[in-house]
Structure 1
Amino acid sequence: MNEQLFPDNFLSSLSAENGFNEENFIKTHQLSDAPTSIRLNPFKLSAVKKDEQVPWCADGFYLNTRPSFTFDPLFHAGCYYVQEASSMFIDHIFKNIRPNIDGAVKVLDLCAAPGGKSTLLNSAINEEDLLLANEIIKTRVPVLTDNLSRWGQANVIVSNNDPKDIGRLKSFFDIILVDAPCSGSGMFRKDPQAMNEWSEANVELCHQRQERILANILPALNEDGYLIYSTCSYSHQENEDILDWLCQEFDLESIRIPIYKEWGIVETQSATQKAWGYRFYPDQVKGEGLFASCLKKKTNTGDLGTFKNNMQQKISSKEIDQVKAYINNADNYYYFKVQDDWLAINRAHKESLNILQRHLYLKKSGVRIGKLMGKDLIPDHELALSTIINKDAVLQTELTYDQAIQYLRRDNIDLSPTEKGWSLMNFEGQALGWAKLLPNRINNYYPKEIRIFSSAGSPAP
């Protein structure tokens, strides 16, 4: 790549940006590859190998080489997420503002797919906190749901709604993350094809879309709540100009986030309102391009009001007791049914779930446990990957690496079971999913839609 391969007017549009060094920026895109980084799941401690730590995220690590994650069973078990290092800065922002809010918080990740920032937030919140991960584009919802199911927590809900719909939940959320759709210039090194879509006209269109999204969602933010706004763009119009607009139109207060000089992050301020922003340039940090900021809402836009909940099902206590046998600390959860499926969510979130069910299109709520068939539970894949499962209540089968890959392909497994029934299939103690052990065979119940299709690969180091 050389200077001429950047889109017309791209470099000149950045020439006045604070901290931008054109020569080093070009060299980095010419001479260095995007680093590989992962973020560990703190709820699933495992023997995932890692190298240098990401400075602004305790669970983030760089890898010296990029393995084939597809052929690492621990990836499929949800022990880590492959995430670009700069975007992990959201964890640093969240942990700086969370102590300022008393009690449990409700958090919204508005533009959540594929799930990197949602799993990050899910790691950062407490059990009594709630995360709503929303994805506007319907076709992107399944990957978001799969990634959050792998993460294993029961305090998360996934929705598929337009920001206008969520904005009607007045003052419902304490923290909202808007990782806004943008022109994508921060991904040029990682995805050179993104350059073909960049233009000054597209930057302006993105700016208008970002304003529309933010205006629609801000009523849902509580007074004294926090908006985290980020893009993977370098363009002033999509970053500092948006901060000025937010402060002017909605009277938001900019929050300065402490950073260390050695991190290489460039701190900026917007032109008129002097709102703080944080720019990541790949020649100055070990990561890709990012802009992030945090603002506090100082006004009250009303509340949701109250409503009578008529959505409760009549469920027998006998059935609940059957289901609870599969759950650790079972009394901490609220149990409900969607058609024939049993689900569980932290008991503290029962009221919030009822409100969200009434107003939004929900795709995942807590952990799907399975179906009751008489005295037996047909367990769901979400239960296998969850951190709430009572493993003492089920059979467990430990697989070798080769057996685990066979299982993840949904192939026949070279195994001679000595017991019968539903079994968790584990690799290095981490659950991958379910199989049913029968006298003469093993029925592989790994979900068809997420099985490994690749025919070749090597394990992660």
Structure 2
Amino acid sequence: MTKNIQFPYNFIESLQQAPGFNAPAFIETHAQDTAPTSVRINQLKAVSFPNMQPVPWCRNAFYLESRPSFTFDPRFHAGCYYVQEASSMFIDQIIQHIYNSDNGPYRVLDLCAAPGGKSTLLSSALSDDDLLVANEIIKTRVPILTDNLNRWGRSNVIVTNNDPKAFGKLKGFFDIAVVDAPCSGSGMFRKDPQAMEEWSEANVQLCQQRQERILADIYPAVAEDGYIIYSTCSYSYEENEAVLDWLCNEFDVESVQIPIDARWGIVETQSAQHKAWGYRFYPDKVNGEGLFAACLRKRESTGNVHVRKNKDQPKPNYKEIDQLKPYVNNAESLYFFKLNDDWLAIGKQHRESLETLQQYLYLKKSGVRLGKLAGKELIPDHELAQSLLLNKNAFLQTELSYEQAIAYLRKDNFELNANAKGWSLMNFEEHTLGWAKLLPNRMNNYYPKEIRIMSQAPGRQATDEAEASLV
């Protein structure tokens, strides 16, 4: 089916000199093609789909032959996979090239992280000894980022809500900084035609200025010999290669060439002045949407953050910590700490980093929130249910049918034949969705209302319209 696409005024003309741009093929692709559907599998909660085809530049990533309703797939809510546009997964190809576990552990920043595609990708790529800091500038977008990282299940994650300039105080703290900068959005025109309404040449210039400011703000936070991964979903030269030249002019950085396969259809480019390497994705050449990505290595030191020990830290309550240990795996490797009435846990190797970040940033998630202790009973938090720290054997487990799982995720009433009493994990195909409290004559559903499914399930073959209602 051919669509009548009306590109913004002067948009096509503005790209005539962009490397690899083919106007007739580009226009035809937007008029005729629909965007492919792709997912990344969480290897620690692995599932599969029928007839999956691999995304060649990303591990554990696949194209699907059709788009199901992910909202009404309990496995999505269990964190078994993430729905992500294929081109944006190229970050994994860059990470594979620059990441060397022998040089770790790494501290990695995802600066503009919501809704969580890159953060969950980075989480999969990093080891338990590495630390991921996922930051979102816009406060209202932090909950979806936190929810997606909770589903993914790793404990070596901290979520922050700060302006980029706040990171300038963390001098030399990060080994890798991923900056998927706000941009004019032309790479999403096929997937989201409404984005065309916001595009203009003036907006491209404003975006370029903002991108440069963001990079300047976070530059001091990158360690010497650390890496900056820069990406946009824009085709405009001003937001891509021109920004690389600006970086090379302003700072002591060198461009990193990333190995690619010519069969992938990615256009390898170099900036005009400094010949910095960049990688362009066009939907008429690759099976994905528009993207630009580049990697640079920092060759200078801009100082190191001063780590101040928190002398006011209260003495640990070892009695309560001993009560918590049976509920988690590898308890002796964890640092347990309290925030108000809640107990949280993170790997002991991340304690110093956590305390440093607490001094400079506004933290929204730190490791895994375990829950509250009420006497000898743990009132477990939803984060624990979906965390890989969870010791499932310490709790009751209730396996749900598909219909029961959807009712649970909607917080609807449903029949459940359960003889046991107490806190139970609610599972679908052995993947945990959340908690319920089983009582003699009823069940109390503790699935968080903020993330419940809001729309009515039309059946297992749900329509895409229902998906839009996912909170």
User: Partner of 2:260 in structure 1?
Assistant: 259
Q: Structure 1 counterpart of 2:287, which letter?
A: K
- Tell me how far 1:49 sits from its aligned partner: 4.3
Looking at structure 1, the residues matched to 291 and 238 of structure 2 have their Cα atoms a distance apart, in angstroms, of 14
Trace 1:27-66 onto structure 2 (pairs within 5 A): 27-49=28-50, 51-66=52-67
Alpha carbons of structure 1 residues 406 and 2: separation in structure 2 relative to 1, 3 Å: closer
- Asked if the contact 2:47–2:81 (Cα under 8 Å) also holds between the matched residues in 1, the reply is no
User: Partner of 1:239 in structure 2?
Assistant: 240
User: Partner of 2:68 in structure 1?
Assistant: 67
Q: After alignment, is 451-460 or 83-92 more displaced? A: 451-460
Summarize deviations over 1:309-362 as a string: whole Å, max 9, x none: 135232321100111110011111110011000101111100000001111100
User: Partner of 1:184 in structure 2?
Assistant: 185
Summarize deviations over 1:11-53 as a string: whole Å, max 9, x none: 1111112211111100000000000111001111234445111
User: Partner of 1:303 in structure 2?
Assistant: 304
Alpha carbons of structure 1 residues 49 and 428: separation in structure 2 relative to 1, 3 Å: farther
Q: Structure 1 counterpart of 2:262, which letter?
A: K
User: Partner of 1:117 in structure 2?
Assistant: 118
- Asked if the contact 2:113–2:134 (Cα under 8 Å) also holds between the matched residues in 1, the reply is yes
- Tell me how far 1:433 sits from its aligned partner: 0.1
Summarize deviations over 1:407-430 as a string: whole Å, max 9, x none: 001112211111000000000000
Q: Structure 1 counterpart of 2:114, which letter?
A: A
- Asked if the contact 1:48–1:74 (Cα under 8 Å) also holds between the matched residues in 2, the reply is no
- Asked if the contact 1:344–1:368 (Cα under 8 Å) also holds between the matched residues in 2, the reply is yes
Looking at structure 1, the residues matched to 78 and 439 of structure 2 have their Cα atoms a distance apart, in angstroms, of 24
Summarize deviations over 1:156-188 as a string: whole Å, max 9, x none: 000000111111100000000000000000000
User: Partner of 1:26 in structure 2?
Assistant: 27
User: Partner of 1:139 in structure 2?
Assistant: 140
DSSP 3-state at the match of 1:46: coil
Q: Structure 1 counterpart of 2:64, which letter?
A: L
User: Partner of 1:17 in structure 2?
Assistant: 18
- Tell me how far 1:308 sits from its aligned partner: 2.7
- Tell me how far 1:89 sits from its aligned partner: 0.3
Q: Structure 1 counterpart of 2:160, which letter?
A: S
DSSP 3-state at the match of 2:100: helix
Summarize deviations over 1:208-250 as a string: whole Å, max 9, x none: 0000000000000000000000000000000000000001110
Looking at structure 2, the residues matched to 422 and 444 of structure 1 have their Cα atoms a distance apart, in angstroms, of 10
User: Partner of 1:342 in structure 2?
Assistant: 343
- Asked if the contact 1:177–1:227 (Cα under 8 Å) also holds between the matched residues in 2, the reply is yes
Looking at structure 2, the residues matched to 251 and 439 of structure 1 have their Cα atoms a distance apart, in angstroms, of 67
User: Partner of 1:204 in structure 2?
Assistant: 205
Q: Structure 1 counterpart of 2:329, which letter?
A: N
Q: Structure 2 counterpart of 1:63, which letter?
A: L
- Tell me how far 1:306 sits from its aligned partner: 3.2
Trace 1:267-282 onto structure 2 (pairs within 5 A): 267-282=268-283
Looking at structure 2, the residues matched to 459 and 146 of structure 1 have their Cα atoms a distance apart, in angstroms, of 24
Looking at structure 2, the residues matched to 101 and 244 of structure 1 have their Cα atoms a distance apart, in angstroms, of 31
Looking at structure 2, the residues matched to 458 and 88 of structure 1 have their Cα atoms a distance apart, in angstroms, of 31
Looking at structure 1, the residues matched to 446 and 5 of structure 2 have their Cα atoms a distance apart, in angstroms, of 52
- Tell me how far 1:99 sits from its aligned partner: 1.5
- Asked if the contact 1:119–1:151 (Cα under 8 Å) also holds between the matched residues in 2, the reply is yes
Looking at structure 1, the residues matched to 45 and 263 of structure 2 have their Cα atoms a distance apart, in angstroms, of 31
Looking at structure 2, the residues matched to 222 and 159 of structure 1 have their Cα atoms a distance apart, in angstroms, of 20
Looking at structure 1, the residues matched to 148 and 414 of structure 2 have their Cα atoms a distance apart, in angstroms, of 25
User: Partner of 2:106 in structure 1?
Assistant: 105
Q: Percent identity?
A: 67
Summarize deviations over 1:140-167 as a string: whole Å, max 9, x none: 0000000000000000000000111111
User: Partner of 1:431 in structure 2?
Assistant: 432
Q: After alignment, is 101-110 or 419-428 more displaced? A: 101-110
- Asked if the contact 2:256–2:277 (Cα under 8 Å) also holds between the matched residues in 1, the reply is yes
User: Partner of 2:317 in structure 1?
Assistant: 316
User: Partner of 2:455 in structure 1?
Assistant: 454
Alpha carbons of structure 1 residues 363 and 424: separation in structure 2 relative to 1, 3 Å: same
Alpha carbons of structure 1 residues 457 and 3: separation in structure 2 relative to 1, 3 Å: closer
Q: Structure 2 counterpart of 1:383, which letter?
A: L
> Is 2:87 aligned against 1:86?
yes
Looking at structure 1, the residues matched to 423 and 120 of structure 2 have their Cα atoms a distance apart, in angstroms, of 28
In structure 2, runs of 5+ residues without a counterpart are: 463-471
Looking at structure 1, the residues matched to 180 and 222 of structure 2 have their Cα atoms a distance apart, in angstroms, of 15
Looking at structure 1, the residues matched to 459 and 441 of structure 2 have their Cα atoms a distance apart, in angstroms, of 31
Looking at structure 2, the residues matched to 450 and 408 of structure 1 have their Cα atoms a distance apart, in angstroms, of 8
DSSP 3-state at the match of 1:29: helix
Q: Structure 1 counterpart of 2:269, which letter?
A: T
- Asked if the contact 2:3–2:32 (Cα under 8 Å) also holds between the matched residues in 1, the reply is no
Q: Structure 2 counterpart of 1:126, which letter?
A: S
Alpha carbons of structure 1 residues 37 and 311: separation in structure 2 relative to 1, 3 Å: farther
Alpha carbons of structure 1 residues 107 and 424: separation in structure 2 relative to 1, 3 Å: same
Q: Structure 2 counterpart of 1:235, which letter?
A: S
Looking at structure 2, the residues matched to 227 and 399 of structure 1 have their Cα atoms a distance apart, in angstroms, of 44
Looking at structure 2, the residues matched to 49 and 413 of structure 1 have their Cα atoms a distance apart, in angstroms, of 30
Looking at structure 1, the residues matched to 68 and 420 of structure 2 have their Cα atoms a distance apart, in angstroms, of 35
- Asked if the contact 2:49–2:64 (Cα under 8 Å) also holds between the matched residues in 1, the reply is no
- Asked if the contact 1:111–1:180 (Cα under 8 Å) also holds between the matched residues in 2, the reply is yes
Alpha carbons of structure 1 residues 150 and 234: separation in structure 2 relative to 1, 3 Å: same
User: Partner of 2:468 in structure 1?
Assistant: none
DSSP 3-state at the match of 2:53: coil
Alpha carbons of structure 1 residues 422 and 450: separation in structure 2 relative to 1, 3 Å: same
Q: Structure 1 counterpart of 2:248, which letter?
A: C
Q: Structure 1 counterpart of 2:219, which letter?
A: L
- Tell me how far 1:286 sits from its aligned partner: 0.4
Summarize deviations over 1:60-86 as a string: whole Å, max 9, x none: 111111111010000000000000000
DSSP 3-state at the match of 1:43: helix
RMSD value, Cα: 1.3
In structure 1, runs of 5+ residues without a counterpart are: none
User: Partner of 2:467 in structure 1?
Assistant: none
User: Partner of 2:250 in structure 1?
Assistant: 249
Aligned length: 461
Summarize deviations over 1:401-460 as a string: whole Å, max 9, x none: 001011001112211111000000000000000000000000111000100111134437
Looking at structure 2, the residues matched to 148 and 429 of structure 1 have their Cα atoms a distance apart, in angstroms, of 20
- Asked if the contact 2:110–2:133 (Cα under 8 Å) also holds between the matched residues in 1, the reply is yes
